[in-house]
Copies of this chain bind each other. A is one copy, B any other.
């Protein structure tokens, strides 16, 4: 399933500096804020009259990804995207990334080149500069720790804490796809482990596979909101499942919420797969992570500006804190939301 490695050059053949030079040699800086990139003790950046946003996330082999079905180029791409998503979730724009890579000698230079191809592709697509990083060995497995840096004017930054009663809760795109993509890949892996002559049955599922293997960050939504002149009152990206993210917004805003089960946007292929896997779509969308959609609240007076847009779905509204955090089911029952989202310390898949 993963790309075959044709050639294997041991990483210690190049040494640490040789390897960094080799992997970063073609990098050009495009951002005005990038004063100095790779090659000194630090990157030097300049954000004139803007605030700086910084976020950092690590992806660990065996915990966050499995090279049985994750091609290294996709891993590189995704590891950048998940960090950029955190910048967009502040209503800001990413400008630079720094990449720390720890690898065991099981991986060759060619494999790392593929990871860096994915990293560079993400840099091109999202127009960010790779300005630094560290490549080191590990005793087992591979780990990517990426720091993303972004900028925004102070007045534009959206925190998790600004939601207020009567605000509408809006989500971009649709939910549950990345989780069902993972279920599918895990199932086909299990089949493949049983019988290595079996070919994986993955056709017709391009959408959910792409959601899992090559997610995108919603740059377009941040651009759209600017165009529509809507500043969300609070915002977060959906990395751990809708339920857990809604709870974050409510707790930090000191509000309650009513989410409507029937409003949650779901792709038809997710319905189909849920049926096949005997899962309910609501469980999958509430608890399945990695969709990297944006979840935000807007003032009710902004409703007209967004309501015609197919990329945005109103899924509920904010209430007083004392009303609690509830999901209103299709048969009109209120169920208390709890955070069973994806937690790397609990779920090792």
Picked from B98, B150, B345, the residue with its CB within 8 Å of the CB of A11 is: B345
Picked from B12, B17, B252, the residue with its CB within 8 Å of the CB of A39 is: B252
Distance in angstroms between the alpha carbons of A141 and B60 in the assembled complex: 11
Q: Does A204 contact B (CB under 8 A)?
A: no
Distance in angstroms between the alpha carbons of A133 and B252 in the assembled complex: 18
Say how far A57's CB is from chain B's closest CB, in angstroms. Answer: 5
Report chain B residues within 8 Å CB of A236: 41
Picked from B19, B46, B61, the residue with its CB within 8 Å of the CB of A52 is: B46
Q: Does A58 contact B (CB under 8 A)?
A: yes
Q: Are the C-beta atoms of B64 and A136 separated by less than 8 Å? A: yes
Distance in angstroms between the alpha carbons of A292 and B254 in the assembled complex: 46
Q: Does A221 contact B (CB under 8 A)?
A: no
Q: Are the C-beta atoms of B43 and A143 separated by less than 8 Å? A: no
Q: List 10 A-B pairs, minimum CB-CB distance, nearest first.
A: A145-B145, A41-B89, A42-B53, A41-B86, A42-B55, A62-B139, A45-B52, A136-B344, A58-B100, A147-B147
A: which residues have CB within 8 A of B? 11-12, 14-17, 19, 35-36, 39-47, 51-58, 60-64, 86-87, 89-90, 92, 96, 98, 100, 102, 131-141, 143, 145, 147, 149-150, 154, 157, 159-161, 235-237, 252, 339, 343-346, 348
**30 A-B interface contacts by CB (under 8 A):** A11-B345, A12-B345, A15-B343, A17-B339, A36-B159, A39-B160, A40-B161, A41-B55, A41-B160, A42-B53, A42-B54, A42-B86, A42-B89, A42-B92, A44-B157, A45-B51, A45-B53, A46-B51, A46-B154, A47-B52, A54-B96, A56-B133, A56-B147, A57-B134, A58-B145, A62-B139, A63-B102, A63-B136, A98-B147, A143-B143
